[in-house]
Amino acid sequence: MSRERECLQIAARQGGVIRRTQALDAGLTAKMIQSRLSSGRWTVAARGVYRLLDARDFRELLHGAVATLPNATVSHHSAARLHGIDTVPRAPATVMVHSSTTHRFVSVVVRRCFDLAPHHVEEIDGLPVTTLPRTVVDLAAHVSCGHLGRIVDELVVGSRMSIETLAELVDEVARRGKPGSASLREVLTERTDPSWATATELERRGLAMLSDHGLPAPLTQFPVPWTSGERFDAAYPERRVAIEWDSRRWHTRVADFEHDRRRDRLAAVHGWTVLRVTWLDLERRRPQVASEIDSVLTAASRVGVGR
């Protein structure tokens, strides 16, 4: 086999790239490598790493980065994609390395990490990938707290991860000042804190929030127009907007997850928007929640809902 062909085969297995040491081991000299770089046949992908094949595929890029960067592990949005977490948006191919130095790889985001332990990594399709709990921890610094909560709920409802497992990992790695730690703590608090308000207390706080922020008073215990025997906690029927004060403990909400989604979809079919507000929303996010409700009511008024 020719030296050139051997290098190409190595590169093909590694997402289109080859390390300098591998090229030398295949029989190329430093002068021959430089000649290929000068002619443009090879390009520099990273320090001591050359691209021989044009690898634009997501997985090929990851294979190339993992094959050439020291102890690289697929992480963040890329790990979420390989795990099949559909609620995480697509992003550039991303890997994480154990290092205090900077590494680069063309078309791949390389993040540094000092706390990735062996039990935080598993294999997917021949690639080392952060586990689901570790992926959630890493994503916490790159998504909103609300989005993070939805990701956690999706994984728990699908029996792919437990709150207890995530909490253990957070206790292990979420140090003070680590990006995303505050969001992780908040998401876990909402799902483990036993001090939930009663339904009556939550409704009282919710109505007070609306009043305090100058929002119109809703009708309470409003009958659901299309389902006999069911009621919305609060409603603005002229705008087809309903509010549900969710006083259930988180584990109960998880058990009722599918029922709630079906009810919300049915409301949407009839042109209604259902806003769900939790105890933690009223304890920690009152201005934000009030602003969101106001925005929904304003938008409904603009499009002439109910007229």
Task: Please write the tens of the pLDDT for every residue from 169-203.
Answer: 998 987 767 889 999 988 888 777 655 556 688 88
3-state secondary structure of 97: strand
Q: Tens digits of per-residue pLDDT, 249-296?
A: 565 566 667 778 888 899 999 999 999 998 878 888 899 999 999 999
Query: How far is residue 96's CA from residue 117's CA, in Å, rounded to a whole number?
Result: 12
What is 199-302's CATH number?
3.40.960.10
- pTM equals 0.60
Q: Which of residues 246 and 131 earns the better pLDDT score? A: 131
Q: Which residues contact 77 (CB under 8 A, 6 or more apart)?
A: 88, 89, 90, 91, 92, 94, 139, 142
Residue 243 token pair: 């509010």
pLDDT in tens, 110-122: 999 888 999 999 9
Contact between 108 and 61 under an 8 Å Cβ cutoff? The reply is yes
- CA torsion sign for 196, 199, 204, 210 is positive
At position 290, the amino acid (one-letter code) is A
Alpha-carbon distance 53 to 61, whole Å?
11
Strands (E) in the chain, as ranges, are 17-19, 43-46, 49-51, 73-74, 94-98, 109-113, 121-124, 127-130, 219-223, 231-236, 241-246, 273-278
Residue 95: alpha-carbon gap to chain centroid? 15
CB proximity list for 153: less than 8 A, separation 6 or greater: 254, 257
| CATH 3.40.960.10 domain position(s) in the chain | 199-302
Grouping H, G, I as helix, E, B as strand and the rest as coil, residue 246 is strand
- CA 118 remoteness from chain centre: 22
